[in-house]
Amino acid sequence: MTDAFLQGRTALVTGSTSGIGLAIAKTLAAAGARVAINGLGAAEQIANARAEVDAAGNGATRHFDADLRNPDAIETMMQDLAQWSNGGVDILVNNAGIQHAVPLHEMPVAKWNDIIAINLSSAFHTMRLAMPAMAQRGYGRVINIASVHGLVASKDKAPYVASKFGIVGMSKVAALEYAAQGSRDSGSITVNCICPGWVETPLIEPQIDARRNGGSRDDGVRSLLSEKQPSLRMTLPEEIAALAVFLCRREAHNMTGSAIPVDGGWTAQ
C-alpha cells in the first residue's frame, strides 16, 4: 500500500534514528505523513535518518532529541509538536526501548529505572499529551511497539518484560477510554500494540555470528531462532512498518486494544 492516504497527517515516531523506528518513519512518510523523529545518536546518524525519511516522503522531517527518561523534556517536545503540526500529532508511534539482560537479583537499580522510564513511562506521557487532541479531531492512531515479551516472559529480562507487559495493559485501557470517539468516516481513535519476535536489525548480528558454528549466516539465524520462533525466519523492520501503516488506515477503525504478535508462531506454542 503506497498511496498517500496520510497526506495532511502528522506523525511522531520515538526511537526512530535506526532500526524498526526508522523503518516506520520512512513508511509513514511514503504514505504522505509529515514525520517527526526522536532518538539519540551521533549528528551524522541523525542527519542520515532525517535524510532517509525526507527521501521517502515530501521532506520537512524534524528531529527531536528529548530524553525520554525526563517527563519535562517529553512535555516540551509535545508542546513543540503541537505548534509544528497545528494542533497535535495524528499518529503516535512509541517505539523507543532499551534492554539490559541479567538475573533479577543482579539488575542495577539505575537500569531498572531507565528501562521502565523509556519503555513504559515515556509512552504514558506522550499518550496523555497527544490523545485529547486526537479525540477533538475524530482521528488518531497510537501504535505502541511492545514485544513478544509483552505476551510471554524470558529469563534475565525482568524490567524489559515488566515494561512490555505494562505497555500492552496501558494500551488496552487507553483503547477502551477512546473507543467511542470519532466515527467510521473520520477514522476514530485506536490504540494497538505490535509485538515482534526476532527482528533483523544490526544489533543482533553478533548473536547470529556466534551461532554459525562454521556454517552460513542462514544457519546462524536458524540456530538462534530454534529455541523460540518456529518459523525460523526473522521479521524485517519494513514488515513491522507495513503493519503499523495499515493500522493508520480508516478501514482499521475497529482494530483497537489489540496486541498483535509478529513472532513466527512463538506465542502460539
64, β-bridge pairs: 38
Q: What angle do CA 82, 25, 201 make, to 5 degrees?
A: 140
**Grid-cell match 525520554, residue found:** 68
- The catalytically annotated residue of 64, 139, 160, 165 is 160
Say if CB 95 and CB 20 are below 8 A apart: yes
Number of H helices, E strands in the chain: 9, 7
| Strand partners of residue 139 | 188
Task: Give the three cell numbers for residue 218.
Answer: 542462514
3-state secondary structure of 10: strand
Q: State yes or no: is 178 an active-site residue.
A: no
Nearest CA among 154, 235, 160, 226 for reference residue 194: 235
- SS3 for 213? coil
**Residue where the block lists cell 551524522:** 44
- What DSSP string describes 188-240? EEEEEEEEESSB--GGGHHHHHHT-TTS-HHHHHHHHHTTT-TT--PBPHHHH
- Active site amino acids: 160
